[in-house]
Structure 1
C-alpha cells in the first residue's frame, strides 16, 4: 500500500508542477511585447538623431531596456521546451532586419522620417509575431 500512496503522491506533485508551468508560461509573450513596443522609439532614435549626445541617449536607453528584460527573464522559473531555439530565431530575425535598416537608414535614406517609421515597424514585426505565436501556444 505504501508504494501506491507514494505513486499517487508523485503523480499529484507532477500534476501540480505542470499546472504551475502552464500558469506561469506567459512571461515570454510579455517580454516580446515590451521589446516590440520599444522599437518605434529606439529605431527612429538610431536613424534620425546625430552626434555624441544622441548616441549616448540611445546607448543608455538600449542598455536599460536590455537590462530590464534580462532581469525579468532571469527571474522566471518556467522555461518551455525549445525556448532557446525559439528565442534565437525571434531575436535573430529582429537582428537581420535591424542591421540593414540601420545601414540603409544612415547611408541611402539619411534623415528620412518615412524610412525610419517603416524600419521601426519592420523591426517590431518579428518580435510581435513571436509574442502572438507564444500567446496562441499557451493553453
Structure 2
C-alpha cells in the first residue's frame, strides 16, 4: 500500500511540473515576437543607411535588442522539450535571410526602399511563424 501511495505522489508531482511548464512556456513566443518586431526596424537600417554613423547606430540597436532578449531568456525557468532544435532552426533561417538581405541590399538593390520593406518582413517572417507555432503548442 505504501508503494502505491509513493507512486501516486510521484505522478501528482509530475503532473504539477507539466502544468507549470505549460503555464510558463509562453515566454518563448514573446521572445520571438519581440525579435521579429526588431527586424522591422533593424533590417531597413542595415540596408538603407550607409557610413560609419549608421553602422554604429545599427550596432548599438542590435546589441540592445540581443542583450535584452538574452537577459529575458536567461531569467526563464521553463524550457520546453525540443526547444534547442526549434531555436536553432529559427535563428539559422533568420541568419541566412538576414545575410542574404544585407548582401543583396548592398550589391544589387542599393538604397531601394521597397526592397528594404520586403526584406524586413521576410526576415521577420520565420520568427513570427515560430512565435505563432509556439503560442499554439503552449496552449
The TM-score bracket by the shorter chain reads over 0.9
In 1, the alpha carbon distance for the partners of 2:137 and 2:66 equals 25
The superposition leaves residues 82-111 of structure 1 with CA deviations (integer Å, 9 ceiling, x where unpaired) of 111111111111111111110111111111
Does residue 105 (structure 1) correspond to residue 129 (structure 2)? The answer is: no
- Counterpart position of 1:91: 91
- Counterpart position of 2:32: 32
Task: Give how far 1:13 is off.
Answer: 1.1
> Runs in 1 of length 4+ with deviation above 4 angstroms?
none
**Equivalent residue of 2:111, what SS?**
coil
- Counterpart position of 1:3: 3
Does residue 59 (structure 1) correspond to residue 59 (structure 2)? The answer is: yes
In structure 1, stretches of 5+ residues that fail to align are none
In 1, the alpha carbon distance for the partners of 2:109 and 2:3 equals 72
Does residue 133 (structure 1) correspond to residue 137 (structure 2)? The answer is: no
The superposition leaves residues 47-100 of structure 1 with CA deviations (integer Å, 9 ceiling, x where unpaired) of 111111111110011011111111111111111111111111111111111111
In 1, the alpha carbon distance for the partners of 2:28 and 2:20 equals 15
Q: Aligned pair count?
A: 139
TM-score by length of 2: 0.95
In structure 2, stretches of 5+ residues that fail to align are none
TM-score by length of 1: 0.95
- Counterpart position of 1:121: 121
In 2, the alpha carbon distance for the partners of 1:7 and 1:28 equals 33
